[in-house]
Amino acid sequence: MDVQGKKSKEPWEMVASVGSVSMEKGDMVCLCASHMNTMGRWERFMQMLTSWKEQTWEVPLMVSMSFEESVEGVIRLPKMEGLTIIRQRRKMSQFEHYKALAELKWGDGTWVMFTDDDDLWHEARAEAYVTMLQECRKRGVRPAYVVSKTIVATEEDDPPGLETAEDVTVLFERGVVSQEAFDKKDVGRM
């Protein structure tokens, strides 16, 4: 799938504005380890899924999920194209969840990105990862860590509950989230 980068002033989209991206569907997968212990957490997970489905570059999402009894009896697992949920029968650590996901077949050479069950994705998040991987390939660099969270908030700046990609953009504009980790000049130095 070819995706043309966009020219935009939004920080996340600046990462994805390097140029043409050529990766085939299946070259990347996103993994999520999750334990649902409250209905509030379930609601955040559903918001994460909504933001994941709005990506400019489609990436399959594989989730390993365990539940508290109080939540398990109330929710219904969503069925969405590109989404795989493995329902675990017991509470598991994050790495036990990832081990279960690693046992699935994704294909040789598949790149992996991660998300938390309460992350809100900017619409260009997956595209930004793909673009950075392509830039690393062009430069002969083998990335191990592509993008990092860089929140430099003080207590009074502490981000409120983020609801939309626009909320993340506001944090960039206020300087609460640092742009430095996403500057094109730093691609390949990670």
Question: What's the total number of domains in the chain?
Answer: 1
pLDDT at 117: 95
pLDDT at 150: 47
Domain assignment of residue 50, given as a range: 2-186
Return d(Cα 95, Cα 97) in angstroms, integer: 5
DSSP letters of 4-49? -----SSHHHHHTTSS-EE--TTSEEEEEEEEE-SHHHHHHHHHHH
Q: Which residues of the chain have pLDDT under 50?
A: 1-21, 145-154, 157, 159, 181, 184-190
pLDDT at 138: 78
Q: What pLDDT digit, counting tens, does each position of 41-60 carry?
A: 999 999 999 999 999 989 99
pLDDT at 82: 93
pLDDT at 177: 54
Q: pTM for the complete prediction?
A: 0.66
pLDDT at 188: 41
pLDDT at 133: 79
Instruction: Report helix, strand or coil for 26.
Output: coil
